[in-house]
Structures are given as structure tokens and as C-alpha cells.
Amino acid sequence: MSEFLLWDAVDQRRAMLNGEIGVRELISAYIARIEAHDTTINAVVTRTFETALEQADAADKKRLRGEADGALFGLAVAHKDTLPTAGVRTTFGSPLFADSVPAIDHAIVARQKKAGAISLGKTNVPEFAAGSHTYNPVFGATHNPYDTSRSAGGSSGGAAAALASGFVSLADGTDMGGSLRNPASFCNVVGLRPTPGRVPNFPSAMPYNALSVAGPMGRSVQDVGLLLSAIAGEHPYDPLSFGSGSVSFTHLRERQCKGLRVAVSRTLGGLPFEAAVRKGLDDGVATLVDMGCVVDEAEPDLSGADDVFDVMRALSFATGYGPLRASNGDRMKESVRWNIDMGLALTGEQLSRAERERTRLLAAARSFWDTYEFLVAPVSQVLPFAVGEDYPRSIDGVQMESYISWMRSSSRITVLGLPAISLPCSFTDDGLPVGIQIIGRPRQEHALLSFALAFETAKPVGRRRPF
């Protein structure tokens, strides 16, 4: 394998601009690695290799003329298969869209192109991105690179597996209940759920929906900051989007942590966790203490967050897929139909109660953030599970009510509208990754990334690659 395939994207970009490696050299090496290994992983499911090589040649010519520009110049990316890509198949993991070719790009796809990135194709997702395990009837399941008998997580599972496997420099994804964070934890990479509006989410069937966000993934915190710098900012067709002002997410500096008060929640309101996940959090907390942080056991009020999330999620499924359910429901997986039907059956009282509860939770969280700048918690409640399971049916003896119940450790944070990052933290004795979740104050992605960088430097387990 060419060593530079697993370099940080920031180092790949620097090497290309300095003439140490060519753009075609990088893109060709990634293509060769995908062709050699992705039969086993199944991460990059629609491929645009010929176009990518043409773009690489054009980029090399610009580089030789001294015209290389763009924050992502020459870097290899792949786009989540729920994000529209103009002229490239976008399936949503559904037979209903198996041959769909959009006419426009999603906002973050367009911004990556403008920044000079070169797309190698689309990454695998669960059907309609429903659930945190990546499998669908169009392409099958994505396998965890650290143990191919296990799940890569989801719904941005193809993206996380591609990064861990050394198939791309950077990847994008979306997150409603943990879809950037869970696969990052399962695959030992970094995934950032930004504050709603930090990254535009257009087109969207529900533009005022603050539950689902788009965001960056990378093999390091600096890489996530680099991609965020290219995709963040106000967009004319996203009413929630906002600008970053003078804040830059590139060239991050580590946060000084001596004396910094950090809250740690081991159960996020009483959730069950597998023992290995609890041990992974203990490892992370020990690192925080070594960094000089003052660690307190504390958490914001999370009571009622599950009901809020379930109602708002159901509403978004009914809004986005209700008409499709009426015409083609028999061709959707059962869990998608269930979520749509739940949304269609919502009453005005349920919706108004959920909004009141969300408002109460946000108000209650203010005093917490007056005391603490960061909250640290587990990402997922379980380790990567068998790839043949649709979802974990029980955790530490507690039965899960539905396919979304096992990801409450992420979805409860979603309800609060906070930026949250999943970082590599530790490995089990049999080699499975365990991530740690760090949650920041609203719109404080720069502070969150700087603190995450300090943790990554102190505990660099993200450097451990699967093959």
C-alpha cells in the first residue's frame, strides 16, 4: 500500500501542493485500494473512477501552472448515498431509487467540488438512512474493517468504513440520532455532528427540521476541521443556516486543559451500556485527568428527551416519505414503514407536548453550560454487533423497544441541538474500537474541535488502522 493513503488529509494536501505526490498518483492509489479490498468491506457502492481520474489530470495541470486552489484541492472524497449528486446515481439504499440520478448536488457536495475535492463515488447507507446499521436490499451490508463479521454502524456506515480502510481522504455524512457519531465509534474514525444550521442541509423535505444535520468525517480532528471549513456557512436556500464569521476550523490548536472543568455522564440519564463500553469511557476519563482536566460527574436534564426525539423523528419520516409509503409501502423495509406510520398517526397534542418538552430541556440546559464547557459520555451503548443482526435487541439485560432505542446515547444529545464529536478512545481485548463522545456548547464547534484535538494528541488510538 502507498503510505500516503492513510496520511491525514491535511498532510496529503500539503504534499500535493509541494509536488511530493501528484493528484493522479493519490487518486489512482485510492482506486487501486478500493478495487483490492472493498469487495470485503462494501463501503463505496457507486463508483465514479473514470471521471475522478480525468479530474485528477486536470488538477495536476493546474498544480504545475501554480494555479492549485481550494481548501480540499486534489483530495479524494466520497458522498453518502442519501446526498443528491448531479449526474451520479443516488439510491437512498432503496429499490425505489435504485436507478435514480439527481439533476442537482446537495449543498455540501457542491461545496466540496468548489473546494477542489475529487469524488470517487457514493458510500453505503441503510435503507432511507433508517437505523444505525448499514445494510440495504440494493447493495447489501457494509462490514466493519476491524472485524468483517461486525457492523460498521450507520447510517453513515459506508463513509466511516471507507475512511478506516484507507479508501478516501475525507467523507461526509448526516446525523439525526447518531448517524455520524455511531459509525465513527464503530470504525475508529472521527465524526462531528455540528450545531443545526452550521452546515447547510439543502435540498431537504423539511427545511426547518433541526433534528437532522449534515457534517464531516475524517481520520483525525484536523481533517474534520478542514472539511468543516469547506462545507460550513450560510446558504440562501437553508433557512436555518448561519455563517461562521471570522472563525476558521483549519489549523486548529490544542486546547489548554489544566484546570478545565469537564462534566462526565456515564449513563446519560440512566441508559444501559455494555461493560466494554463502560470500560472504554473509564479509559477516556483517565486520559482527561492526565490532561489536567477537573472531572465532575454531572449531566444536563435529559428527562423526556426520548419522547421528543421519537415524535420529531416520526414527523420527519412522515413528511419526507409519507406519499411514498402510500404508493410503494410494500417495497420499504418494515422499520421504515413503522416510523412513517408513527408520524402519520401523530396528534396535535403529541406534537405540541414534544415542542413544550424540547423548550423545557433547552432552558434547563442553560445553567449546565454556565458551569461546564464540555460534556463527555459514551457514543454508542454497544460494541459493533454481528453484521447479520438488524439491531441489538437487548443491552445489559434491558430489552430495546424498537430499532432506534439502542442509540439513545446519541439521540438524547440530538434533542438539545448541541455540537457533538465522536473520537477514537480505546480498543477491546479482541480488537474492536470504542469511541468517546464530547459535547460542546451551541455553535461552539471551534472550541469543541480544539478540545478534541488535545484529547486525540493525548490518546492517539485513531492511528491504529485495520489493515
- The DSSP bridge partners found for residue 435 are 424
The one-letter code for the residue type at 365 is: A
294: enclosing H helix or E strand: strand 294-297
Q: CA dist 195 to 1, 159, 213, 298, 415, Å?
A: 37, 20, 8, 22, 11
Q: How far is CA 125 from CA 142, 359, 412, in A?
A: 8, 32, 22
Catalytic residues: 80, 155, 179
Strand (E) or helix (H) holding 399:
strand 398-399
Neighbours of 399 (CB within 10 A): 9
Integer Cα distance of 332 and 320 in angstroms: 14
Q: What SS3 string covers 102-166?
A: CCCCCHHHHHHHHCCCEEEEEECCCHHHCCCCCEECCCEECEECCEEEEECCCCCHHHHHHHHHC
Going by C-beta distance under 8 Å and a sequence separation of 6 or more, which residues neighbour residue 196? Answer: 210, 211, 213, 240, 417
CA atoms of 162 and 273, how far apart (whole Å): 27
- Round to whole Å and give the CA distance between 388 and 149: 8
The answer to whether the CB of 405 falls within 8 A of the CB of 172 is no
- Please state, as a whole number, how many other Cβ atoms lie within 10 Å of the Cβ of residue 434: 27
CA distances from 352 to 252, 307, 309, 358 (A): 41, 12, 13, 10
d(CA 127, CA 334): 10
Length in residues, the chain? 467
Distance, CA of 49 to CA of 21 (rounded, Å): 19
Cell representation of residue 441: 456548547
CA atoms within 13 A on the CB side of 366: 6
State how far the Cα of 105 lies from the Cα of 85, in Å rounded to an integer: 4
Decide the pairing of beta strands 143-144 and 147-151.
antiparallel
